[in-house]
Amino acid sequence: MRRPLVAGNWKMNGSLESVRSLLDGIGRGVGDVKSAEVAVCPPYIYLPEVEKLLSGSDIAWGGQDLSTESSGAYTGEVAASMLNDFGCKYVIVGHSERRTYHAESDQLVAKKYAVARAAGLVPILCIGETLEEREAGTTNEVVARQLDAVIALEGVDALAHGVIAYEPVWAIGTGKTATPDQAQEVHAFIRSRVAEKSSEVAEGLRILYGGSMKPGNAAELIGKSDIDGGLIGGASLTAEDFLGICTAAD
């Protein structure tokens, strides 16, 4: 039985004040969430505050990215050990915004996955196709390539220590959601791809859906057999919407 996970990706949003009030709102409602796991991924700069406010709660937290390097002359980068210093459980790797705006390759993302794992963090590996790729009928090819980069570097067992987020790029922040059937089809493909190497790893692997998930569509998406929760962008910025999705995942 895979425990559903709902993780909020706050991206580069918020202020110290809004972080406090958002966590206060989530904290007030999260007690009603019984079986799903809940996590938030704030901008790095707010991690000390998030740690202070969430320590001892049932809500986990994580980074939105990390460096492949452990320390040194890498201006602007943040190491895995630094995420550990502030109690992170999770770290997102390979988000499409990193792949697009920072030219992160499949190989770099795989390295980040490996570095996160080695540091004891749980990587949330984002994979997904663009609209052009979907229209060209290459969705499976694209997600397989992104997934295989991690398996090639680390072996399939590495996936036993991580989470996958299937995020069709055309659905992120656009208000266009993949239909539950469209999402389920790709999730089933991802699981079957992993099962070719290890049925045990595939069975235990949590595969989240991400892309304009909201309280109104979450239950139907997460109700699909291979969808194990959500990675939430926009709707994770208001406590009511985020909690609505957490409740749906329950």
Q: Check residue 63 for interaction with ligand PEP (CB under 6 A).
A: no
Tokens of 102: 């920072």
Binding mask 204-243 for ligand PEP (x = CB under 6 A): ------xxxx-----------------xxxxx--------
Q: Rule CB under 6 A: choose which of 133, 154, 167, 228 binds ligand PEP.
A: 167
Position of minimal CB gap to ligand PEP: 233
Told to check if 245 binds ligand PEP by CB under 6 A, we report no
Determine if residue 10 is labeled as part of a ligand binding site. Answer: yes
Task: Name the 3-class secondary structure at 237.
Answer: helix
- Reported as type and span, the H/E element at residue 126 is strand 122-127
Q: Which residues contact 113 (CB under 8 A, 6 or more apart)?
A: 93, 94, 123, 125, 150, 153, 154, 158, 162
Given a contact cutoff of 8 angstroms between Cβ atoms, the answer to whether 183 and 190 are in contact is: no
Does 39 bind ligand PEP (CB under 6 A)? Our answer is no
Give the count of residues interacting with ligand PEP (CB under 6 A). Answer: 13
Shortest Cβ distance from residue 62 to ligand PEP (Å)?
A: 13
Say whether residue 183 binds ligand PEP (CB under 6 A).
no
Q: Tell me if 140 is assigned to a ligand binding site.
A: no
Nearest Cα neighbor of 63 from 98, 36, 33, 37 is 98
When asked if residue 173 is in the footprint of ligand PEP (CB under 6 A), the reply is yes
Q: Please work out, in degrees rounded to the nearest 5, the angle formed at the alpha carbon of residue 4 by the alpha carbons of 104 and 124.
A: 15
DSSP assignment letter at 249: H
Closer residue to ligand PEP in complex, CB, 139/212: 212
168 binds ligand PEP (CB under 6 A): no
Residues 36-47 as b or e (16 or more Cβ within 10 Å = b): bbbbbbbebebb
Q: At what angle do helices 180-195 and 215-222 cross, to 10 degrees?
A: 40
Site string for ligand PEP, 111-150 (x = CB under 6 A): ----------------------------------------
Backbone angles phi, psi at 165, to 5 degrees: -120, 115
173 known member of a binding site: yes
84 labeled part of a ligand binding site = no
Q: Which of the residues are catalytic?
A: 95, 167
Contacts to ligand PEP by CB under 6 A: 9, 167, 172-173, 210-213, 231-235
Residues at the binding site are 9-11, 173, 212, 233-234
Positions at the binding site for substrate: 9-11, 173, 212, 233-234
